[in-house]
Structure 1
Amino acid sequence: MSNPSMIHALMALIAERKANPPAERSYVVSLIQSGDAKILGKIAEETAEVIEAAAEPGEEGRAHLVKEAADLIFHALVLLGRHDVAWGDVEAELARRFGISGIVEKESRASK
């Protein structure tokens, strides 16, 4: 892919940092080495911040929501990378669900 999406670029960076931690300090490496509890804590923190930002009015609130959503997605990507889950796997799951009612899809999971 000559022009990867930002998600693909981040996933590649996360995989590279996991496989070959750089000598200099790296936030990604520190999260991966700290384990799931640390990453999940960050995801919970960022989720709360997304919820708070969503309630803020106007353009300033919108800008804050964008930043907090980016933080949440970043930390979710680190968790995926720590578990060697490729972004393509997530895309494939989203594609599988595409065009299916969310209610129908959720009910199909509940019956299993």
Structure 2
Amino acid sequence: MSALERLASTIAARQAADPDSSWTAKLLAKGPEKCAEKFGEEAIEAVIEAVKGDKARLTSEAADVVYHLLVMCAARGVTLAEIEAELARREGTSGLSEKAARQP
């Protein structure tokens, strides 16, 4: 099991945990909107570090983004397996072609 799979599994397990005992459970208890807000904050921090060019800080912020992305998705019932399936579906497709095929 990869670190990403273990993280997704931990997040899923925390959905039923006491919010007083787990940061993830606390985030999830606040609802999908709060989870999305936290994801957005972390994404902005990652962008700032990417612009600054500090590799170590960007790596740390990117890890935060991945964590908060998975929490946000869990709050809406989207699993890592579903995300992986979508990525697999897109494999071998030009990004330009895939974007052009999307409905407006």
Task: Note whether the superposition's TM-score is higher than 0.5.
Answer: yes
| Residue 47 of structure 1: how far off its partner (Å) | 1.1
Q: Does 1:98 align with 2:98?
A: no
TM-score for both structures, normalised by structure 1: 0.85
**1: CA distance between counterparts of 2:100 and 2:19?**
48
Q: Does 1:11 align with 2:8?
A: yes
Per-residue displacement from partner, 1:50-93 (whole Å, max 9, x unpaired)? 11100123xxx000000001101100101122222221111111
**2: CA distance between counterparts of 1:23 and 1:33?**
7
Cα pair distance change 1:23/1:50, threshold 3 Å? closer
Give SS of 2:102's match: helix
Do the aligned partners of 2:15 and 2:28 also contact (CA within 8 Å) in 1? yes
Over the aligned positions, Cα root-mean-square deviation in angstroms equals: 1.5
- Structure 1 residues 10-89: aligned runs within 5 Å: 10-19=7-16, 21-22=17-18, 25-57=21-53, 61-89=54-82
Q: Which amino acid aligns with 1:107?
A: A
| Residue 22 of structure 1: how far off its partner (Å) | 4.3
Percent identity of equivalent pairs: 37
Give aligned pairs, total.
Answer: 104
Per-residue displacement from partner, 1:2-40 (whole Å, max 9, x unpaired)? xx1111111111111113x14852110010000122111
TM-score for both structures, normalised by structure 2: 0.91
Do the aligned partners of 2:46 and 2:58 also contact (CA within 8 Å) in 1? yes
Higher relative contact order (CA 8 A, sep 6+): 1
Q: Which amino acid aligns with 1:18?
A: Q
* Structure 2: stretches of 5+ with no match in the other structure: none
